[in-house]
Structures are given as structure tokens and as C-alpha cells.
Amino acid sequence: MKIAQSFNSYNFGRAFTTQEKKAYASLLKDSRKALDIKDTTAIVFDFNVPSKKGKNTAIGTTWSESMDSFISFVKDMTGITSIQLQPQGKIVPGNKSPYSGTTFAYGSHIIDLSKLAKPEYGSLLSEQYVKDLDKKYPDGKRQREYRTNYDYIFPEFEKALNIAYSNFDSTNEEFVQFKKENENWLKGETLYVALSKLYGTDDYRKWNEIDANLFDSNLPNDVRNARIKEIESQFSEEIGFENFVQFIADKQQKESHKSLNEKDIEIYGDCLIGFSQSEMWAHKDCFRENLYYGGPDPNCPETNGIQTWGLPALDYTKLGECTEDGNISKLGATGKLLYDKYEQFFKRYDGVRVDAAWQFVTPFVYEAVNGNYNQVQLPEINMTIFNILKAAAKGRATSDNIMLELVGMSAGKSRDMTLNKYPHLYTTAYAEYDENPKKFMKKGYKRDNFYVGVGCHDNDSLVNLAKDDHKREIHSRDIFRNYGTSQEDFSVSGSDKYENFRNSKFAEIFSTAKQFFTLPDMFGMAQRINISGKKSPDNWAVRIPTDYERFYYSQLSNGYGLNMPKALAGGMLMNGFSSQNLLVKKCNEAAEILRSKGPLTEAEANEAYKKGEISNIFEYVS
């Protein structure tokens, strides 16, 4: 079987016209059906999302006005059926990783300020205020469009939300109901904010004994309740503001969720393995003193071969019991905290991606003493935490809406225990370690029970992977072996070798039932999202530009990005379809247009068609 013809380069064409997009939608539908594709999901970090023109506040958000049209474009071009939203909790200026955020509380920096100027939000900000934030944003075009500026975000959002709060009616019935329904986590979060202001530090270990241990089970209830009343009285304004921020964030998240579902897109939330300092303080009984989650990594010699995540480790001796049928009557303090955590996620999202799920079975924790890092051995755990997760879903847990991240050197046992019970997430970025669709199925995975992507937030971009001569050769040989091709069939040399390789890696994931991709890889961007285990000013900053449509078509015309019909054609050939198959031929025809030079937006293509400047019209009848 020869694949080469699926990966050639072409030099004519343009963006689709509106009429052609209708034909393309039918082609996507039929091609996905032929490949028996069950779910295609885009990994979306809030900071990846482009701003609306004239309203660039230095960061994107999935709750924004621009998200609605942006995700429609992504769906039209790629056929996605879901998105994996990455962590949306609070982060602090000193550590910009979303994986250091909170579990329960949203980050205020991903609120869409422009919505606050609308009547349905009580016009809490003026339209001009939001426009002025864009005008004041100091960076040049490349910085403004392609990067998130956290240094600008944090102080500006604080000021903007304080203005909005000063205009807010706190007797709002919806607001009162929100506080009541979320009191179990909101009270601890707001008190922590107040005490952090009182002491000038969010390190509760520097607070007085009562405040540092306010929710410790050993503190008498009368002492606790009296102290809480004092704090609430002294810091009523700060507590009210924090409640307001969480209310607005929750309101916008629900609106976004509804809008996405109406587009037939499901949302998976990324459930962190760790908890924040505020959550650790509010649930001190559930954590081990001076023990942190991490991972084994020989590429971190400076920390004794440990990825130092800095996330406080749970006390698993207080899990209690949870049976497979969901009986939670015997849960301990830690088990109850996890139940509340997962229950909240299933209220907010259609499904959940469980971060570092192998920590549930073979926990890897370390202690940090005087700059030295050492692993601490803990006993293995059975299925208890997975049973808690299912119980918290309250009947909504299926084989499809709980995804497990089980990548790493410690994940073997947890993979075996959950194989084909929940879908696992993998990337072909590690193809040299036998991580590819064919090998997963040989290891016992059913075709519908795992997701595979080219890379995730912790991998380098596909653009950079293609430029790595050593890895490109290894990955190419892997594809040759898996799909019965010879090295001559696949162009790994010549001027098109990088583009051909990128196309083949996309085709590989579209040869199976469930797949994912990152937005930077879809748009063919070289910047990586994160360097795992390392602190870098470039981490968590890459952004899609405001003029995303023109940017995407421009990238495709230069051989970068996810050319979906090219990927589908390759996927079909990898699955034994003939090169003469109608779907393969039509996918290649559509791919030629997207690959080529010409009008870079749908509107421009429409205008060119009216003027008779387009001759190669794409047509397809299902």
C-alpha cells in the first residue's frame, strides 16, 4: 500500500467560499463516518483563545464573545465534537501555570470584561472602559496578538472588577442563590482571601495559630465560629468582592457551556491532581505535612530526578471506603473532599479529564528539606478514588465522559487496572516508546477506548518535532512499519520533508476512533505551550491572533497547520482505503485548495468567485 500520493504538496487554490464550505461539511461528515470516528476534541487553554478586535485585554477566555465565532470556525474546519478545557482556577502572578490553580474557585483573569458592559450584566462597566484597556495595552503587534501578557492582566483585571463591583447590586437574587449553593467551598475561599490581606501574605503558616488552623478538626467549634464572625465583619468588603468575582465567573461559564452545547460540542473540564494553598488551609486534615506530588524524571538532575510540582499531597489514609456501586457512607475526610471536587466538576462540565490519574494508584510524592528533594514511598491504592469519581457523577459517568491521563514512568499499574474501563489519553510525540495507535491496540486497548493526539501541552510543537532530524526519522520508520509502507513511499527527504511529516502525524491520529489536537498545532505554530517541569517565561503564553481566519488559511497555504481533509485522506489510506476511493480523492481535492495561495478568508473567496477569479470550484454531493 502506497501512502505517498496522500501527502504531496500543491501550489494553487484558496480559502473556501460559503457554498464550498457546505460541500466541505458534507465531506467531513462522510469521511468521519467512513473512518468510524467517535470524537475529535480540541485542547483549549483560555489564554489560547483570540480576542475580539478592539477588545484585546492581553489574555483570551473561553467565556468571551469572540469564543463563539472562533469555536464555530474551528468546528467548521476540523469537525470537532468536543473541547478539553484546561484548568480555569486561580493562578498567582508568581506562578502563571494553570496547573497551580485552585480546584473550586475560578480565576478572575479569564472573565470577559466586555460582557460586563452589556445590559444583561447591569452595564457594570462602560463599553469605552473595555476599549481603553485595549488602547493602553503596551506591547507591539506580535506580542499583543500571539502572546499572553500576565503582567498587564493581573492589575488591570483587579481594577476593572472593582469598578464593576462598585456598580453591582449585592441583593441580586441570582447572586444570593449562587452564594447559598456554593457555600461549602466559597466560605473557605473568601475567608482565605480576607486573612491573606490581614497578614500581608497568603502563606498561612505565617498567620497566628487560630487563623492558621481555623478549619482544623481539633479547633473547638465555638472558637472557630466566633473567629469567622470577626473576620466576616472586619473584611465584609473584600469577602463581598470575592463572592462577586466567583459569581460573575460562574455565570459566564454557564453561558459559554450552553452556547457550546448548542453547537453540538461537549465540554470536558481538566480536573487537577492537586489543590491550592487556600484549599489546603480549608481542609488541613486531608493533607500530609511537607509532602508534595511530583513525578520521576531523569531530565531533572538538579532536583534528584524529580519533577517538583509543588502540589500538597493528600493524606490517603483518610480516604475511607467507596464501593463500585457508589456507596459513599463510609468516606473519610479525604474521600469527602474528593467527592465534593468531582461533584463540582460534573456540575460545570459534560465530562472530566483527570490530571495525572496514576497518582490515584501508585502515588509519587516527595519531601523538600533545605533544598534537597527525596521521594517518599507510599502504599498503593486500589480503585477507591475511581469509585468516588463515578459516585460524584451521579449516574452521568460513562465510558466516554471520564478521561484519564496516565502518561509517565509510574503509570503502569493504573493503566492495567483501568484498561477499557475509562478512555486513556496518549500522544504520538513519544512514538519512539511505542506510543502510537497500532501499538495501543496490540496492548489490549479497544479501538473506542483511548484518545490519541500528536502532542499535548507538555510536548514540543509538531512544527519543532518535524525539524528534529533524529525524531523525525524514528517516527517515520514507525509509521512505515505500522501501515505497511516503505521509506520510499513517504518523503522524508527533499524540500517538502517537514510538511509531509506533519501531515503524516496528523493522518496517524485520524486513523483511529478518538483523537485530540492542540490549538497551536492546528494553526501550525512553532511555540510550545509548556516545558514540563521547568519554569520559563514562555510557558502558558502562546495565543491565537485576533485575525485567526486569515492566519489559519495563510498557515495552510504555506504548508503548516492541520489541513483536515489531508489528514482524513491519509487516515483512510492508512486504514486500507484505495487511493481511488471517492472520499480519498475528494479529501485530497479539498486539501489542495486549503494548501494553496489565494484569498485568505471566506469573504474574500466569495468576492473572488463573484468576479470570476476562481475556476476550480470544490463540489461534493453526499
- The Cα–Cα gap between 484 and 489 comes to 10
- The Cα–Cα gap between 440 and 136 comes to 51
Q: Which one-letter DSSP state was computed for residue 109? A: G
Contact (Cβ atoms closer than 8 angstroms) between residue 56 and residue 546: yes
Q: What is the pLDDT of residue 14?
A: 84
Contact (Cβ atoms closer than 8 angstroms) between residue 17 and residue 499: no
Q: Is residue 535 very low, low, confident or very high in pLDDT (cuts 50, 70, 90)?
A: confident
* pLDDT for residue 357 is more than 50: yes
Q: What is the pLDDT of residue 9?
A: 35
Q: What is the mean pLDDT of residues 100-129?
A: 95
Which range is least confidently modeled, 115-124, 196-205, 297-306, 480-489? 480-489
* pLDDT for residue 10 is more than 50: no
Could you give the C-alpha distances from 549 to 53, 76, 342, in angstroms and in order? Answer: 13, 11, 36
The C-alpha cell at 285 is 486534615
> What is the pairing mode between strands 306-314 and 287-296?
antiparallel
- The Cα–Cα gap between 601 and 607 comes to 10
Contact (Cβ atoms closer than 8 angstroms) between residue 3 and residue 489: yes
User: Mean pLDDT, the chain, as a whole number?
Assistant: 92
- The Cα–Cα gap between 13 and 590 comes to 9
Q: What is the pLDDT of residue 317?
A: 95
E-only strand ranges, 433-505 = 450-453
Contact (Cβ atoms closer than 8 angstroms) between residue 452 and residue 437: yes
Q: What is the pLDDT of residue 477?
A: 87
Residue 453: name the closest of 474, 473, 482, 423 by CA: 423
E-only strand ranges, 231-305 = 266-271, 287-296
Q: Which one-letter DSSP state was computed for residue 167? A: T
Q: What is the mean pLDDT of residues 463-481?
A: 92
Instruction: Give 170's Cβ-side CA count (13 Å radius).
Output: 12
Q: What is the mean pLDDT of residues 146-169?
A: 95
pLDDT digit string, tens, across residues 12-50:
448 999 999 999 999 999 999 999 999 999 999 999 999
- The Cα–Cα gap between 196 and 192 comes to 6
Q: What is the pLDDT of residue 111?
A: 97
The C-alpha cell at 311 is 502540589
- The Cα–Cα gap between 190 and 188 comes to 6
pLDDT digit string, tens, across residues 303-335:
999 989 888 899 999 999 999 899 999 999 999
Contact (Cβ atoms closer than 8 angstroms) between residue 381 and residue 363: yes
**Who's near 398: CB < 8 A, 6+ residues apart?**
none
- The Cα–Cα gap between 356 and 8 comes to 39
Could you give the C-alpha distances from 275 to 122, 157, 283, 310, 580, in angstroms and in order? Answer: 34, 24, 10, 10, 54
The C-alpha cell at 482 is 505500522
Q: What is the mean pLDDT of residues 400-418?
A: 88
pLDDT digit string, tens, across residues 118-130:
999 999 999 999 9
- The three state secondary structure string of 170-223 is CCCHHHHHHHHHCHHHHHHHHHHHHHHHHHCCCCHHHCCHHHHCCCCCCCCHHH
Share of the chain above pLDDT 70, in %: 95
E-only strand ranges, 222-364 = 266-271, 287-296, 306-314, 351-354
Give 451's strand partners.
425
Share of the chain above pLDDT 90, in %: 80
* pLDDT for residue 277 is more than 70: yes
Q: What is the mean pLDDT of residues 173-184?
A: 97
- Read off the pTM: 0.93
SS3 call for 490:
coil
Q: What is the pLDDT of residue 536?
A: 85
* pLDDT for residue 484 is more than 90: no
Q: Is residue 299 very low, low, confident or very high in pLDDT (cuts 50, 70, 90)?
A: confident
Q: What is the pLDDT of residue 1?
A: 33
Q: How many CB atoms lie within 10 A of CB 154?
A: 18
Q: What is the pLDDT of residue 4?
A: 37
**Who's near 114: CB < 8 A, 6+ residues apart?**
52, 55, 64, 65, 127, 130
The C-alpha cell at 576 is 486500507
- The Cα–Cα gap between 73 and 546 comes to 13
**Who's near 225: CB < 8 A, 6+ residues apart?**
none
Q: What is the mean pLDDT of residues 76-92?
A: 95
Give 106's strand partners.
89
Q: What are phi and psi of 193, to 5 degrees?
A: -60, -45
Contact (Cβ atoms closer than 8 angstroms) between residue 499 and residue 559: yes
